């Protein structure tokens, strides 16, 4: 199984965790995707028992809400730790916070943190399964699962392996995007053809040299592609290396109906949200039939139910 076992908390059994796509095997990911479809079709009972703690150190609308709904729909008790009003605001370390939560006996901890690697710190200090809901600019594995599910629906394909050969252009701030990192890992595993499109400052160093298909020109990057995956310009992670202006970014890289029609008229448009309207995407495309943003959000609940169910199933088998 590719879903990693967490480092063992002292004297306890390791719990299976889902902290990154990197290192996962296609079979494990495909099982989660099939489970998500089965849950959506009503083929899985919702009678799990257990405690899920959501530990969000960063802002979130869709991810936190969908993890909460997913846990409740499975039958779990869900607690949201309000970080601003917790002991973290008094200077408690992440490890100490997690040990405190661990003593309450959670089965799953869902964590979002601005520091890459924080989910591993959590996993090292709890016997619960840990799910990474986004760590710094590193990974956001459940986003990749819900995106794969959305693509599989639209292209009416049966398994993750059938994403092979699909051409996907990722446009925007790839360097700062955890969503891009998780998706690139999943799509590479599946054998999709990936193009990376954006200004030099937004592309991670070394990618062109490592053989990735890199484009600085939107026209070449989008022509004939099956999917355009847009990324938000991560204003909060730019650290002074901003693109000259958002207006300029839109002029060169913003997706408009006109550009889509000219370069890839049948392409589907995706975006993990939150969207900067008028920057990476024109308003008019938000309600276009080719735009899958709402489907992505809807699938987020099924995908997260599947990840939770998958881990809890294995947790029962390794449990103390
Ligand atoms: C993303 C995130 O927070 O990583 N959003 C999400 O979870 N759907 C992307 C972003 O913030 O741009």
170 within 8 A of 229, measured Cβ to Cβ: yes
| Cβ burial, residue 202 (10 Å; 0-12/13-18/19+) | buried
Task: State the chain's mean pLDDT as an integer.
Answer: 90
Instruction: Give the DSSP H/E element, type plus range, for residue 306.
Output: helix 293-318
Cα–Cα distance, 208 to 203 (Å, whole number)? 9
pLDDT at 9: 45
Q: 276 to each of 31, 109, 236, 246, 287, how far by Cα in Å?
A: 34, 30, 13, 10, 15
Atom of ligand 1 nearest to the CA of 62: 8
Q: Is 172 helix (H, G, I), strand (E, B) or coil?
A: coil
pTM: 0.93
Cα–Cα distance, 148 to 165 (Å, whole number)? 14
Q: Is 227 helix (H, G, I), strand (E, B) or coil?
A: strand
pLDDT at 241: 58
| Ligand 1 geometric centre to CA of 180 (Å) | 10
Atom of ligand 1 nearest to the CA of 178: 4
pLDDT at 204: 85
Percent of the chain with pLDDT over 90: 78
Number of H helices, E strands in the chain: 10, 9
CATH class, 141-293 region: alpha beta
| Ligand 1 geometric centre to CA of 29 (Å) | 21
Give pLDDT tens digits for 206-262.
Answer: 888 889 999 999 999 999 999 999 999 876 666 555 677 888 999 999 999 999 999
pLDDT at 198: 95
Model confidence at 178: pLDDT above 50: yes
We find that the CATH architecture of domain 2-139+299-313 is 3-Layer(aba) Sandwich (3.40)
Model confidence at 11: pLDDT above 70: no
Give pLDDT tens digits for 96-121.
Answer: 999 999 999 999 999 999 999 999 99
From 110, 113, 134, the mutation candidate for ligand 1 (largest count of ligand atoms within 8 A of CB) is: 134
| Cβ burial, residue 141 (10 Å; 0-12/13-18/19+) | buried
Q: Where are the domains of the chain?
A: 2-139+299-313, 141-293
Model confidence at 5: pLDDT above 90: no
């Amino acid at each position: 199984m590719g879903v990693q076992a967490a480092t063992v908390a002292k004297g306890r059994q390791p719990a299976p965790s889902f902290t990154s796509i990197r290192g996962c095997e296609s079979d494990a990911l495909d099982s989660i995707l099939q489970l998500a479809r089965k849950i959506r079709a009503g083929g899985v009972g919702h009678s799990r028992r257990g405690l899920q703690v959501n530990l969000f150190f960063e802002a979130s609308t869709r991810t936190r809400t969908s993890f909460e709904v997913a846990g409740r729909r499975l039958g779990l008790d869900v607690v949201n730790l309000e970080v601003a009003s917790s002991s973290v605001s008094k200077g408690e370390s992440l490890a100490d916070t997690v040990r405190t939560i661990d003593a309450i006996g959670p089965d799953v901890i869902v964590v979002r943190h601005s520091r890459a690697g924080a989910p591993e710190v959590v996993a090292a200090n709890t016997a619960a399964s840990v799910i990474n809901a986004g760590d710094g600019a590193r990974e956001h594995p459940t986003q990749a699962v819900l995106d794969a599910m959305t693509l599989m629906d639209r292209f009416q394909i049966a398994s993750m392996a059938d994403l092979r050969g699909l051409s996907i252009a990722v446009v925007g701030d790839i360097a700062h995007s955890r969503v891009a990192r998780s998706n690139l890992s999943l799509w590479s595993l599946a054998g999709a053809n990936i193009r990376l499109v954006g200004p030099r400052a937004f592309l991670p160093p070394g990618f062109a040299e490592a053989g990735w298909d890199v484009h600085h020109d939107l026209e070449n990057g989008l022509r004939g592609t099956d999917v355009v995956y847009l990324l938000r310009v991560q204003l909060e992670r730019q650290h002074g290396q901003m693109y000259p202006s958002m207006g300029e970014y839109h002029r060169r890289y913003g997706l408009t109906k006109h550009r889509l029609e000219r370069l890839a008229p049948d392409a589907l448009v995706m975006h993990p949200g939150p969207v900067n309207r008028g920057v990476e995407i024109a308003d008019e495309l938000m309600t276009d039939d080719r735009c899958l943003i709402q489907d992505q959000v809807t699938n987020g609940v099924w995908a997260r139910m599947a990840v939770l169910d998958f881990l809890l199933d294995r947790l029962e088998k390794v449990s103390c």
